[in-house]
Amino acid sequence: MSDSEKKIEAPKRAIPKFTSFKAPAPPPATDAPNKRAPEDEKTKGTQREHGHRRRHHRSSSRSCENRHKREHRERDKSDGEHRRRSRRDGSRERSHRYRDHERRKDDNRRYRSKPRDTKSVIARTPAQRSPSPESGDILQKQFFVDTKGDENNLVFGTIHKYSIPDYLRSGAGRIVGLPTNLRIDRGKGDGKGIVLSSEGAGREEVSVKSMRQLFANLDSKDVKRLRVKKEKTGLDEALSRGLDFVPLSIASKKRKSRDVEASDDSENELDHYRSIEGLKKPSAAPDDPDLAYASDSQSEQDYVAGEWGDRKRMVQFIRKVESSPNDIDAWLAYVNHHDRIISSTGRRKTAAEKRSTAEVKLDILEKALDKNSGNEVLLLKYMDVAQEIWEPQKVLSRWKRILEENPTLVSLWTKYINFRQTDFLSFKYPECLDCFRECLAVLKTAALKSSVQSSSREALDGVILYVFTRTILLMNQAGYRENAIAALQAMLELNVFAPANTIPPTSQQELETLLGHLEKFWDSEVPRIGEDNALGWASFVAAGEIGDSPDALKDDFQPLPLNPEDPFGSWADAEVEWSKKTGMPARTIDEVEEDDPYRVVLFADIKDFLFYFSSENVRKRTAETFLTLKGLPQLDLWSSNSEAVADSFLCHGLATLRVESSETWFWPKKERKWDIPAIIWEGMEPEKKATMGDYPFEFKLRNFPVGYEGVFCKAPIWLDGNEHFRLSGTDNTAFVRNALKSLVEKVGDESLALYYLAWEWANAPNGIKKVAKALLKRFKTSLQLWSAYGQVEWHDSGIDAGRKIFTLAIAMSKELSENARRDAVFLWHAWVWEELLSKNTQTALQLVLTIGNGKPYEGPPITSDNVSQLLLLKARMYLEDLQQSMLSIRLEEHAAVFNDLRAVLEYLVSGNNIDFAIPIYEEFVAELKRRSLIGPSSRIYEVSLLRKARLIYLHSMTAKPFKPAALRSVLETALETFPQNTAFLSMYAWNEGRTKIENRVRNVVRNFVLKEGRETVAGWLFAVWAEMRMSQHFSSHAVRSLFERAVSCDRIQASPQLWMMFVEFELQCKEYNRAKETLFRGIRNCPWSKDMMMMALTKLRSTLGFEDFRKLLSIISTEKELRVHDVTELEDMMEELGENGALGSGDFIALPDDDSTDEEMVDQY
């Protein structure tokens, strides 16, 4: 070899082996450098390797795919062929490799410019290396950091497999823990796993039984399973301990301990033979510090045998259903186990997993139905699973067959109407209404067969009322508002204003007779409930079925003529205005438009939906149906976990969710939207600003109960309990006012009177004093009504006027009966909290101390510093004794009020120290738990938690400094039980907004609010609302991802409000094409919603083309038969324009430019 060749030759090192990293001894120097050493077997193998590498480089300019195929074929050729090609191409390869040396340094590390002496390849002394200092530094390193990478990673997704050196494995393919005859078979498999084969001639036929026995032995008690220790980082520890900061860098304890061990002298090891501890003793832990015995962990998912445990449970389920085929719970547990297997992985199921799992569950349910024909629970589960994967036509066919075979199963009918209302292909308004009519007929037949006083009759009455509510909501949302109001009026007249001698029917004939009497009242056209001067059906009968009809009315609305330049737009605008004018049903004497036959509602149109309930409780709940139709809060103080809240068809909690008014509270302010700010370096990142605002209740959807003092509270620093009663539209206001007034006069219920007062205060505050005095004249002994009036005066006329009413009512309470005097605590409670929220803590303390005396304090001022210990002791004993007394007589609402007053007392006398008040609440919760009064459906428990959070919130607004962790812990505890409570959620987001840590809110939303099986429309909308306020510039992709997940949820995807908010979001982002696609998807899921159809014709007018308009009009008026104004003129104009060619080829309206990109949606949850 010449000197020039030696200079350009790159140094080469041996590939390291795992067996040893010690370099072999250098060979003795030779006098003749160019003299070749004798070739032994190792040298031949090295030359064969060099020959293969030269072939690889020579073909690098060809196609990558052909190169891999050719080299794969040449790999199995003989060693002689390798040597012949090496000698033939040696000189050409040397010159070619030299030219590529500088261009491809990475290949130069792997391949060498020419074959060299084998001993030189294995080891080379420093004297033999190139004198270049740069190359000398490189040779001193044992490994390289490749910053360029391999081109094959881009072409094939991985490096070339022949470029990966083969490493020697100890054990010749054996695996620790398995028999020695089982070895790794490298000739099988696809490279993604390991294939085991038995050693010997019969290695292709491994006994399945023996393999199963092998893994079955893992359950032996003598076998200790190992698991990898989960390394707990400092971040996890910080979050678990609730620290107020997050470490920027976290040192791994495991790595630190290893460094310490490595730095210690080996003689200091405990198992060293010279250790002072003596010989090494058997350890209870594995030798590997990264491992632990799985038996030490309580979780069976910490080791590999978790999957084996799922299989064992599956076998147990199979054996159980085979031994007890009539055990329905066993079949359902067997079916639900398939969902648990995937959900235990902690990730969402893919579409393929959902489909495959559903197919398996259907097969199991079919076997269960073969053993239990006609079982109601199994049939419901079967159809729930079938709707996930079957086509709608197949589902409809199966529904009809099941209902023919089981016509009397109530729950099947209610499930069936859900399907018929949401299935786009089969939905038509008349046909869907017939389904509701048929369902009610089955329910009424079953109810008439039950005893009047039985619990089954009351339960059936409740189901009938639910289906009736769904029916009038369907009418209202499909545009038939007159039919909905008429049906509601008739149901209220039948169940609330019926004559005194009315008895519940027990047969179909009796029901027909009763409805016949009501028909006379309806056809007489006297004023009905909700109308002016309405007296009710009972008054009509008492007057000899004679009454005065109101004067004839005439529709004065004249729609504007269509604009030929924008026929669809002008028609849509006229339709919207016309819908606002309609609502109350007309009479036969009224002058209405001839082309609108739905304005007049006959009794025959609503007769099939009416029923007289035998239960007094259900008849009272009929008023709640009236409130639901008008989008008002419910009459009873319910829990946030009630079934009605989770029902997306009832729209509970969505009264304030209107697309038109959501701009003021749901969407962020203009300056906080998705505009990306310029990045300017100022030396350090600026402080992140809180984005939740100063008021914690900016999320306006109401889903939480409040105490009696909270309904009439309008304090600026606490939630406004009265804002949810506000309505829009004069027609709605008049109808609701007349109906509530009539119900209060007829029913005489105190809670209904309080509701009416709250509604009047929200919608007509100028006349509230007149209404309050009229109610107090009717309910003279109602201390709760006096308390509400005192709060109204407090906020409308001033603090002194409110104090005067409270003082007068407390003095009057002494003259009432013992049962009536118990409500005096509501007066004291409301007065104390009005003083606290007005920041009059001294007056509040004086009031709490004198509750036991029965009159307000009139002595010298009392503060926490000069309070009398005797007076304090008497107040404590009085409040505690009354709390226990109220619990003993089952007046939990009164007991909760006394408990709140005790906590306020301890807070004030301690100098506003919240630590003295919290134990009072915890003591009361423990007592409720002992009496089994807490749980997800316990309203009193939820209200107590809300009062506790209110006091801590008040403390946070007045005390400095305040730790957010105090409020956080209370809210997290509350959200574990009441995850849909929007008051708790709003306060939590506000509290974390001050700490400027976003992921806490996301974790709460993910773990509690959006947990599978708990989803509600309000919960998903809160997740969206909070995500848009996490930072000043939120990610539109993250918000879009939340909306996508929400509309994909089976429980709420039939909510028109949710879809319309999704469309509004896309419009806010100026993604008009996305908005169009989203709206069409929403129409497919909610085909009965006229509002969604009209949203397309109004807000997406610039995006839709002529064909889109024509299809939508066809869907509204012809296919789904929703209620719209006459479209004959519009159709004639379209036909005329089409004949004249004015519409062109479809570019009826120019589409806006859309520069949006289809970036991947970011999922923050």
pLDDT tens-digit readout, 1118-1157: 899 999 887 888 887 777 766 655 444 333 433 334 344 4
Q: State the pLDDT at residue 200.
A: 54
Q: What tens digit of pLDDT does each residue of 228-245 get?
A: 665 555 555 555 555 555
CB neighbourhood size of 991 (10 A) = 25
**How much of the chain, in percent, has pLDDT values that exceed 70?**
68
Residue 76 is which amino acid? Answer: D
How would residue 1104 be classed by pLDDT, with cut points 50, 70 and 90?
Answer: confident
Q: What is the mean pLDDT of residues 976-996?
A: 90
The C-alpha atoms of residue 814 and residue 820 are separated, in whole angstroms, by: 9
Instruction: Say if residues 1023 and 1010 touch (Cβ distance below 8 Å).
Output: yes
Q: What tens digit of pLDDT does each residue of 158-171 get?
A: 666 666 665 566 77
Q: State the pLDDT at residue 51.
A: 44
Q: State the pLDDT at residue 633.
A: 84
Q: State the pLDDT at residue 641.
A: 87
How would residue 431 be classed by pLDDT, with cut points 50, 70 and 90?
Answer: very high
How would residue 58 be classed by pLDDT, with cut points 50, 70 and 90?
Answer: very low
**Residue found under tokens 């074959």:** 115
The C-alpha atoms of residue 157 and residue 146 are separated, in whole angstroms, by: 17
Domains and CATH numbers, the chain: 3-24+43-163 (no CATH), 171-220 (no CATH), 302-400 (1.25.40), 427-548+572-629 (no CATH), 707-810 (no CATH), 1039-1165 (no CATH)
Q: How far is CA 562 from CA 255, 577, 758, in A?
A: 78, 14, 44
The C-alpha atoms of residue 576 and residue 571 are separated, in whole angstroms, by: 9
Q: State the pLDDT at residue 586.
A: 87
Least confident of 134-148, 259-273, 1089-1103: 259-273
The C-alpha atoms of residue 358 and residue 1054 are separated, in whole angstroms, by: 21
Q: How far is CA 194 from CA 171, 174, 175, 179, 188, in A?
A: 15, 12, 11, 16, 8
The C-alpha atoms of residue 281 and residue 277 are separated, in whole angstroms, by: 10
pLDDT of 918 strictly over 90: yes
The C-alpha atoms of residue 75 and residue 52 are separated, in whole angstroms, by: 8
How would residue 492 be classed by pLDDT, with cut points 50, 70 and 90?
Answer: very high
pLDDT of 672 strictly over 60: no
Taking the chain, what is the end-to-end CA distance rounded to the nearest angstrom?
Answer: 67
Mean pLDDT of the chain: 77
Q: What's the chain's Rg over C-alpha atoms?
A: 40
pLDDT of 778 strictly over 70: yes
pLDDT of 1032 strictly over 60: yes
pLDDT of 679 strictly over 90: no
For residue 404, the surrounding DSSP H or E stretch is: helix 392-405
Torsion angles phi and psi, residue 228, rounded to 5: -80, 130
3-state secondary structure 124-193: CCHHHCCCCHHHHHHHCCCCCCCCCCCHHHHHHCCCCHHHCCCCCCCCCCECCCCCCCEEECCCCCCCCC
Q: State the pLDDT at residue 1108.
A: 86
Least confident of 241-255, 538-552, 1067-1081: 241-255
Q: What tens digit of pLDDT does each residue of 783-804 get?
A: 999 999 999 999 999 999 999 9
Angle (deg, nearest 10), helices 730-747 and 768-778: 20
Q: What tens digit of pLDDT does each residue of 1042-1060 get?
A: 999 999 988 888 999 999 9
Torsion angles phi and psi, residue 600, rounded to 5: -95, 125
How would residue 37 be classed by pLDDT, with cut points 50, 70 and 90?
Answer: very low
Residue of 1005 and 42 predicted with greater confidence: 1005
Q: State the pLDDT at residue 225.
A: 63
pLDDT of 989 strictly over 80: yes
pLDDT of 270 strictly over 90: no
Q: What tens digit of pLDDT does each residue of 560-575 get?
A: 778 878 888 888 888 8
The C-alpha atoms of residue 1129 and residue 571 are separated, in whole angstroms, by: 10
pLDDT of 1022 strictly over 50: yes
Q: State the pLDDT at residue 444.
A: 93
Q: State the pLDDT at residue 362.
A: 92
The C-alpha atoms of residue 1026 and residue 1048 are separated, in whole angstroms, by: 20
User: Residue 1105 CA to chain centroid, in angstroms?
Assistant: 35
pTM of model > 0.75: no
Q: What tens digit of pLDDT does each residue of 833-888 get?
A: 999 999 999 999 999 999 998 888 887 888 888 889 999 999 999 999 999 999 99
Q: What is the mean pLDDT of residues 603-631?
A: 91
Which residues lie across from 226 on neighbouring strands? 293
Q: State the pLDDT at residue 487.
A: 96
State the DSSP string of 657-712.
--TTTGGGTTSPPGGGSSPPPP----SSPPPPPP-S-S-TT----------HHHHT
Q: What tens digit of pLDDT does each residue of 698-743 get?
A: 898 888 888 888 889 887 888 888 888 887 665 678 899 999 999 9
